[in-house]
Amino acid sequence: MNRTIQNELEDIRNRGLLRSTRLISGRQTARVTCNGHDVLLLCSNNYLGLADHPVLAAASIAAIEQFGTSSGASRLVSGTMELHERLEAAVASFKKREAALLFNSGYAANTGIIPALVGRGDVVFSDRLNHASIVDGILLSGARLVRYPHNDFARLALLMEKHAKGRSLIVSDGVFSMDGDIAPLAELAELKRKHGALLMVDDAHGCGVLGEQGRGSAELLGVGGDVDIQMGTFGKALGSFGAYAAVSAEMRELLINRARSFIFSTSLPPSVLAASLAAVELVQTPEGDELRKQLCVNTRFFRDGLKEAGFRIPDGSTQIVPIIIGSAVTTMQFSDALLEEGLFAQGIRPPTVPEGTSRLRFTMMATHTHADIAGAVERIRAVGRRLGVV
Ligand SMILES: *Cc1c(COP(=O)(O)O)cnc(C)c1O
């Protein structure tokens, strides 16, 4: 039978995997208006609440007035603007690396960096739960993909003995986006040294949140110097948009020459660069410390509450808190029922997570109040009981 678009959509729908977007009015704050109703936002990566911070907004507006609304072209074509360089210098200093290079998004970074480093004849060792943009970068590179079981560095050691060849790259999320656990970076660094491999960490969920002054997961685990490419994003805790690679000066030069998403795409505009710059500065101030502390307190309160209510949540300590449910259909029923109760939490299904591990993925924000969280736990428990999940 001819596979029509309609058949294909039916098939997705029948498997409980149809996706659609929900309309949010106003800002991405702890409470939002979703389809006209006031709901508690429990699925945003705006962990520190910086997405509507007045300092970022003012910086962004001032940049538009001074530099206009667009960068006009790729940086290799119409030139790097001052703000690109200032932001790169700020990121390099923040991450304590020689240099940094900006990318237009985390997705663009991963699909640009990985093919810039490896190709046919090379091997990439990738955690099974790595973000889709990493997997896409590897596929695009043409290098051999060797996936290792989640965080299983003993198994990775065996796989490297067997398969390391040409240039080897180990790549891992710093904080796993759908599980909320932290990668064993010290062990990965040891394997990288043993095999003369490169190590890349995608810290989209660690940057701004973990480690001293929010420098990220590599800083937290004391291995910053061993990570050849620390990639991170401005769109999550930093409340802006875009991404960076914190690297050596040599590596930066290679990426400028080889990363196609850098070369062939119009660069980030002044408004975005200025907001990112303000955010990188802000997270290193006492206000940043205060926000991280509040995020920690909120996270602990929420995690403890869900455990006490009897939910099975994977071990971890970060602001990403999943309840693993299994069935995609039940997961979406749970998510829909929560929305009726005034809680906006996203159900996550394949292909974002492996088959049979559909889940509700909750994220904490520093700007949630104690009462918000207590009320949320109560309602999550009630809906969980009703659906027989707990
Ligand atoms: C969100 C995310 C990305 C993509 O970053 P964007 O800036 O949103 O494109 C990449 N990697 C991980 C682990 C992420 O969670």
Question: Cα of 378 to ligand 1 centre, how many Å?
Answer: 31
Give the Cα separation of 103 and 19 in Å (integer): 28
Tokens 């109040």 belong to residue: 369
Query: Is 237 within 8 Å of 47 (Cβ atoms)?
Result: yes
Question: Cα of 105 to ligand 1 centre, how many Å?
Answer: 7
Task: Clarify whether residues 233 and 296 are in a common domain.
Answer: no
Task: Clarify whether residues 31 and 167 are in a common domain.
Answer: no
Question: Cα of 231 to ligand 1 centre, how many Å?
Answer: 10
Query: Is 236 within 8 Å of 52 (Cβ atoms)?
Result: no
Does residue 235's CB lie within 6 angstroms of at least one atom of ligand 1? Answer: yes
Task: Clarify whether residues 210 and 321 are in a common domain.
Answer: no
* pTM for this predicted structure: 0.96
Could you tell me if residue 42 is inside a domain? yes
Does residue 177's CB lie within 6 angstroms of at least one atom of ligand 1? Answer: yes
Tell me the pLDDT tens digit for each residue of 205-253: 999 999 999 999 999 999 999 999 999 999 999 999 999 999 999 999 9
Domain termination residue (choose one: 248, 282, 316): 282
Query: Is 31 within 8 Å of 365 (Cβ atoms)?
Result: no
Tell me the pLDDT tens digit for each residue of 12-46: 999 888 898 889 988 999 999 998 899 999 999 99
Catalytic pick among 84, 95, 236, 368: 236
Question: Cα of 237 to ligand 1 centre, how many Å?
Answer: 12
Which residues are bridge partners to 246 per DSSP? 100, 230
How much is the pLDDT for 98?
Answer: 97
Catalytic pick among 53, 95, 131, 205: 205
For residue 307, the domain's CATH number is 3.90.1150.10
* Number of neighbouring beta carbons within 10 Å of residue 187: 17
How much is the pLDDT for 363?
Answer: 98
Task: Clarify whether residues 42 and 63 are in a common domain.
Answer: no
Question: What does the pLDDT average to over 303-331?
Answer: 94
For residue 77, the domain's CATH number is 3.40.640.10
Task: Clarify whether residues 161 and 257 are in a common domain.
Answer: yes
The three-class DSSP label of residue 216 is coil
Task: Clarify whether residues 290 and 253 are in a common domain.
Answer: no
- What backbone torsions phi and psi does residue 229 show, to the nearest 5 degrees? -130, 110
Could you tell me if residue 75 is inside a domain? yes
Using the atom order of ligand 1, give the atom closest to the CA of residue 176: 13
177 is catalytic: yes
Q: Which of 105, 113, 130, 133 to mutate to test the pocket of ligand 1 (most atoms within 8 A of CB)?
A: 133
Question: Cα of 233 to ligand 1 centre, how many Å?
Answer: 7
How much is the pLDDT for 165?
Answer: 86
Task: Clarify whether residues 173 and 266 are in a common domain.
Answer: yes
User: Which residue range is the domain that position 359 belongs to?
Assistant: 19-48+286-387
Residue nearest to atom 10 of ligand 1 (CA): 106
Give the Cα separation of 300 and 321 in Å (integer): 10
The total domain count for the chain is 2
Give the model's confidence band at 1: pLDDT under 50 very low, under 70 low, under 90 confident, else very high. low
Q: What sign does the CA torsion over 278, 281, 283, 288 have?
A: negative
Give the Cα separation of 185 and 381 in Å (integer): 35
Listed as own residue / partner, the contacts of 78-83 with beta carbons closer than 8 Å and 24 or more positions apart are 80/267, 81/267, 81/270, 81/273, 83/270, 83/273, 83/274, 83/277
Using the atom order of ligand 1, give the atom closest to the CA of residue 173: 13
Could you tell me if residue 3 is inside a domain? no
Question: What does the pLDDT average to over 67-92?
Answer: 96
